[in-house]
Amino acid sequence: MINITFPQVRDDWSLDVVNILAFLGEHNIIACSQQICMSWTCFLPRLIPAPQGLLAQRPKKLASEDETPVTGVWTGNNRPVLQYFGRMLHTDGSDLSPFTTRLLKIQWDSAIKDKSLKKRYPIRPRLFSPMNIIAVFSCAMTFGLAGWALALGDAVALTGILVMSFTTPLLCLGMCWTPRMVPRYRPTRGLVPPGTVVIKSSNGCFTVVECDEQIARLLYFHPEYIDYAVSSFTGRGLSGTVGGLTLVGSIVLFGNAVWALKAALAVTYTVLNLLYWVAAILPVRLSWHIDLTVSQPEIIEDHSFTQCLWTTIYHTKKIDWAREYVPKTEVWNQWLLEAENKVRLGVELESWDAFGALNSLLKERHKPE
């Protein structure tokens, strides 16, 4: 007869898994590393799962959306990608139905006092962001564990907790960063040129963003470079080397802690892994304070790219930006001029058959002589 048994007493259960849990969740930490290291809370001593993930990447610029060109309707500015902060405020439009025109309006937050404009950056880290809340919570958990280890007289566990908790800010030092931004300024003579932009997504959708020139430059055209607190050598060399040694040392110490502390560490790392997994899927916008307001989008769906292009031209009142998105042929040039003429004459959007007009031009162009 097969005799199946479980451990009878607590100490028969092996909790060496805590060493594995301390390294699990690296993917979530990599996904959250930029948000973790952009606030002063990154220097709080605390336990964090897979802390080596903090140094996995060190980009020079913020992530942008490729193949999403942005064009200034009035300024003629052009960028081949949708930049980080613009994408954060609104998607690139690829989530919409094909051949959709989306109309947005972005303005400065009216609640901001004018006298403070020179002192504040319009986009800055939020104080009560998910990452900051997790950092404070994990710091409290860490020192709670340290206090318990002290009460139990477990010097090995206490040393391991303190070494691991101070490894986190050491590694964060190598990634601590701020966005290189231009502060908002007062326009001369009270005039702000229009900064309306058109964004084209990969599925044939257009997004028209009505805003002033300052907002357009901030969100779509100003290079989004990153300023790090320390150089790459110091960050990945010194912080990475010292942090790696302390990381290995603390894991060895965890393995020699008493059973109760091992159980507490296992629960702590499980909870922290869950928190960072949730944080990784939350919208990035929750980590930023933005002095801008975005209107509810107006969505206009069409059945073809031509009709969608006409809808966008109708709302921008210009055709220069549209030349980048149509073939460089005489037929399309005539169609654009006709569309511009319809806008000038004040023709209603639905009253002109843009698709039919293009077909007529094509037939006339290719009719036999």
Whether residue 1 lies inside any domain: the answer is no
Percent of the chain at pLDDT > 90 equals: 46
The reported pLDDT for the residue numbered 208 is 97
Whether residue 5 lies inside any domain: the answer is no
Whether residue 2 lies inside any domain: the answer is no
Region 219-232 average pLDDT: 87
The reported pLDDT for the residue numbered 119 is 52
Round to whole Å and give the CA distance between 118 and 193.
Answer: 20
Integer Rg of the chain from CA: 28
Whether residue 6 lies inside any domain: the answer is no
Residue where a domain terminates, one of 294, 326, 342? 294
Whether residue 174 lies inside any domain: the answer is yes
pLDDT at 101 over 90: yes
The reported pLDDT for the residue numbered 109 is 83
- Do 100 and 17 share a structural domain? no
Q: List the domain range (segments joined by +) for residue 335.
A: 304-366
- Do 200 and 88 share a structural domain? yes
The reported pLDDT for the residue numbered 2 is 63
- Shortest CA distance to 85 belongs to which of 196, 192, 225, 212? 225
pLDDT at 117 over 60: no
The domain tally of the chain equals: 3
Region 51-75 average pLDDT: 87
pLDDT at 352 over 80: yes
The reported pLDDT for the residue numbered 18 is 62
Q: pLDDT grade, residue 231 (50/70/90)?
A: confident
Residue 225 is given by DSSP the state B
Percent of the chain at pLDDT > 70 equals: 87
3-class DSSP assignment, residue 149: helix
pLDDT at 134 over 80: yes
Region 338-348 average pLDDT: 91
Strand-strand pairing, 70-72 and 78-79: antiparallel
pLDDT at 254 over 60: yes
Region 28-56 average pLDDT: 90
Taken in order 200, 201, 202, 205, the sign of the CA dihedral is: negative
Residue where a domain terminates, one of 262, 294, 326? 294
- Do 205 and 82 share a structural domain? yes
Q: pLDDT grade, residue 14 (50/70/90)?
A: low
Whether residue 32 lies inside any domain: the answer is yes
